[in-house]
Amino acid sequence: MTSHEPDSRPLLLGGPALGLRLILLALASAGLMVADHRQHALATVRNWMSAVVYPFQWAVQAPVQAWDSLVESFATRSRIEADNVKLASDNLVLRLRLMRFESLEQENQRLRAARESTARVVERTLIAEIVRVDLDPFRQRVLVNKGTRDGVFRGQAALDANGIFGQVTRAGPVSAEIILITDPEHAIPVQVNRTGARTIALGTGRSGLLTLPYLPQNSDVVAGDLLVSSGLGGVYPPGYPVGRVTNVARDPAQPLLAVEAEPLAALDRDPEVLLAWFDSTVVEPQPGAEPDAPAPAMPVGR
Amino acid sequence: MARTRSGLGFGRILVVTLAALLASVLPLPGWLELLRPDFVALTVLWFTLLSPRLTGLFYAWGAGLALDAFKGVLLGQHALALIVITYVASKLRLQVRAFPPLQQTAVILALLWLNEFIVFWIDGVAGHPVTDWRRWLSVPVGAACWPLLTGLFARVAARR
């Protein structure tokens, strides 16, 4: 405790100088926060900072990742064999489904051509690994190891093998931050696959829970219904699975239903995600595009 | 001569601060993640109370900005919280240093709470409040870490 720093600065700090510095720095912080909150003002600074910070973020999770891969490499032979059998049978089923899919896709394209509407399907994907750092336990966000150098852009949709994962909120040169569909600040336009009813699914901050608060009492939705992205807003490609309805609470006193759903993507278990490029007719992928909470303002043409 | 020894102190501060920054994003299993103390706030408080000639408000501000960059939150959020608690800690420094450990920990508890409150408040102003009560868990955990950290840091500082 009794250190002897040879320094000529006065030991008794304080007085007006300290207060003044506090006020100046507080004003600087407030200025930064305001500039940052209006998104575009500090975009380049933030991207640059994310590039500086990324090596550290990567380094801190590297031992954890190395341990996981070590455990993986010592996985027992029987487990690998069982996995292999399962994958082979899965592959067979998927290939059978794909055979039908190709003819359906052609038919779909013909029908769409007849209606003069463009199909928006995912054209290209990029696998991005999730960097395992804890950004904030109360926000559903992850960091991935691909950035603008790989063509990642703000507002890009991210998927996994089971469904929609989230979208890119910040794209740095070598890393990007993805907001999950379960983040409380996230909303995704969805469609009940069985009936075609359109609504919005909001995140709750808990992984494994989405809410659909805007469905009227008389809407036809039951537990088990599949929710797919509707494609409104142009951030997500339409027709991809988002979640499955788990609970419908009908309270006649309320004007709207309280519907809960669970996301299909393995949000907290995925080691990697797919970043998707698709032909968007609503919003062109550009850094200035505002991806948050797209409003379904389009008329429903059926 | 004096300059070189000051320089050494600066290097040590940088290393400890970087370690605190890394510890605040280190991946932890679920429930442990909620109990993670604010390592950067603890480090800043420690340097402010026990090594005030080397650090100050500018140091606290820089550490806060670095934490914002690491966590990817609003730039300036932790910086503002840290300069406020550094200011209070500098004002109380001489009294706090004379306090017995338990009383010192109580002051740290109050300062960490103030830090978390400012972060919470800015979250609310920025339009994404996190009202989960578990966010406050890091405050008592951080205060409980204080006696341990002072021991650890004292050892680091003693190794010259």
pLDDT value at residue B28: 82
**Cα–Cα distance between A50 and A60 in angstroms, integer?**
15
Give contacts of B153 with chain A, Cβ < 8 Å.
none
> d(Cα B115, Cα B70) in Å, to the nearest integer?
17
- Total number of domains constituting chain B: 1
For the four alpha carbons of B135, B140, B144 and B146, in that order, the dihedral sign comes to positive
ipTM (interface pTM):
0.80
pLDDT at B108 over 70: yes
Q: Could you tell me if residue A290 is inside a domain? A: no
Chain B residue with minimum CA distance to A49: B69
The whole-number pLDDT of residue A11 equals 55
Q: Which of B63, B130, B22 is nearest to A133 (CA)?
A: B22
Per-residue pLDDT, B159: 64
* Position A216 in a domain: yes
Amino acid at the residue A71? V
Confidence of residue B157 (pLDDT cuts 50, 70, 90): low
Report the distance separating Cα A81 and Cα A77, nearest Å: 6
- Which band of pLDDT confidence, cut at 50, 70 and 90, is reported for residue B141? very high
- What's the confidence (pLDDT) of residue A165? 93
**pTM exceeding the 0.90 threshold for the entire prediction:** no
Nearest CA in chain A to B31: A137
* Residue A212, domain member (yes or no): yes
Contact criterion met (CB < 8 Å) for B6 and A42: no
| pLDDT of amino acid A118 | 60
Range of the domain at B33: 2-158
- pLDDT tier, B77 (very low <50, low <70, confident <90, very high otherwise): very high
Dihedral in degrees, nearest 10, Cα atoms A19, A22, A24, A30: -140
pLDDT of res. A302? 33
pLDDT of residue A298: 39
User: What local confidence, expressed as pLDDT, does residue B2 receive?
Assistant: 40
8 Å CB contact of B122 and A33: yes
Lowest mean pLDDT among A57-66, B76-85, B148-157: B148-157
Selecting from B51, B80, B93 the residue whose C-beta is nearest the C-beta of A3 gives B51
Query: Which domain CATH number covers A222?
Result: 2.40.10.350
Whole-number pLDDT of residue A291:
45
Amino acid residing at B141: V
Contact A7 B91 (CB under 8 A): no
* Chain B residue at shortest CA distance from A41: B75
The neighbour count for residue B120, using CB atoms within 10 Å, is: 17
Please report the pLDDT score of residue B117 as a whole number: 95
* Structural domain contains residue A42: no
In angstroms, the CA B113 to CA B119 distance is: 10
Taking the CB of residue A117, how many other CB atoms lie within 10 A of it?
11
Kindly report, residue by residue over B1-54, the tens digit of the pLDDT.
Answer: 344 444 447 788 889 899 999 999 888 877 888 889 999 999 999 888 877 777
d(CA B69, CA A51): 10
| Residues on chain A touching B126 (C-beta within 8 angstroms) | 33, 37
Compare CB distances from A33 to B77, B84, B97 and report the shortest one's residue.
B77
% chain B with pLDDT above 70: 91
Length of chain A: 302
Task: Give the integer Cα–Cα distance in Å for A148 and A169.
Answer: 12
**Residues A109-145 pLDDT 10s:** 888 777 766 656 777 889 998 887 777 878 888 999 9
* Nearest residue of A to residue B98, measured between CA atoms: A1
CB-CB: which of B57, B65, B134 is closest to A21?
Answer: B57
Which chain A residue's Cα is nearest to B133?
A138
B54–chain A nearest CA distance, Å: 8
* Domain span holding position A192: 187-268
User: What is the token pair recorded at B24?
Assistant: 């605040």
Which tokens hold the place of A160?
């996994």
Radius of gyration of chain A (CA): 24
Mutate to test the interface with B, among A33, A38, A129, A178 (most CBs of B within 10 A): A33
Q: Alpha-carbon torsion B65, A33, B136, B103, what sign?
A: positive
Interface A-B: count of C-beta contacts within 8 A = 139
Residues of B in contact with A139 (CB under 8 A): 128, 130
| Contacts with A45 from chain B: Cβ below 8 Å | 75
Q: b/e per residue, A70-109, with b = 16+ CB within 10 A?
A: eeeeeeeeeeeeeeeeeeeeeeeeeeeeeeeeeeeeeeee
The DSSP code for B99 is: S
- Residue A155 domain flag: no
Chain B CB contacts of A154 below 8 Å: none
Contact between A22 and B21 using a beta-carbon 8 Å cutoff: no
Nearest to A213 by CA among A243, A255, A253, A252: A255
Q: Is residue A214 part of a domain?
A: yes
Domains contained in chain A, number? 1
List chain A residues with CB under 8 Å of B36: 134, 137
The reported pLDDT for the residue numbered B52 is: 76
pLDDT of residue A251: 85
The answer to whether the Cβ–Cβ distance between A28 and B26 falls below 8 Å is: no
Query: Which pLDDT does position A301 carry in this prediction?
Result: 36
Kindly state the helix (H) or strand (E) to which residue B60 belongs, with its residue range: helix B57-71
pLDDT at residue A116, as a whole number: 66
Q: Which two tokens stand for residue A235?
A: 């951030």
Segments in chain A below pLDDT 70: 1-16, 39-40, 116-120, 280-302
Q: Output the pLDDT for position A78.
A: 82
A204: closest chain B residue by CA: B130
Inside any domain, residue A263: yes
To the nearest whole Å, the CA of A64 is away from the closest chain B CA by: 8
- What is the per-residue pLDDT for A45? 83
DSSP labels for chain A? --------S-SS--HHHHHHHHHHHHHHHHHHHHHHHTGGGGHHHHHHHHHHHHHHHHHHHHHHHHHHHHHHHT--HHHHHHHHHHHHHHHHHHHHHHHHHHHHHHHHHHHHHHHT-----EEEEEEEEEE---S-TTS-EEEES--GGGT--TT-EEE-SSSEEEEEEEE-SS-EEEEETTSTT-EEEEEETTT--EEEEEE-SSTT-EEETT-BTT----TT-EEEE--TTSSS-TT-EEEEEEEEE--TTSSB-EEEEEESS-TTT-SEEEEEEE--SSS---TT---SS----S----
Residue with tokens 């990697």: A272
Nearest one of A131, A296, A138 to A229, comparing CA atoms: A296
- Per the domain annotation, does A3 fall within a domain? no
Query: Which one of B2, B9, B74 has the shortest CB-CB distance to A37?
Result: B74
What does residue B24 show for φ and ψ, rounded to 5 degrees?
-80, -10
CA dihedral (A10, A12, A17, A18) positive or negative: positive
Q: Are A261 and A245 contacting, i.e. CB atoms less than 8 angstroms apart?
A: yes
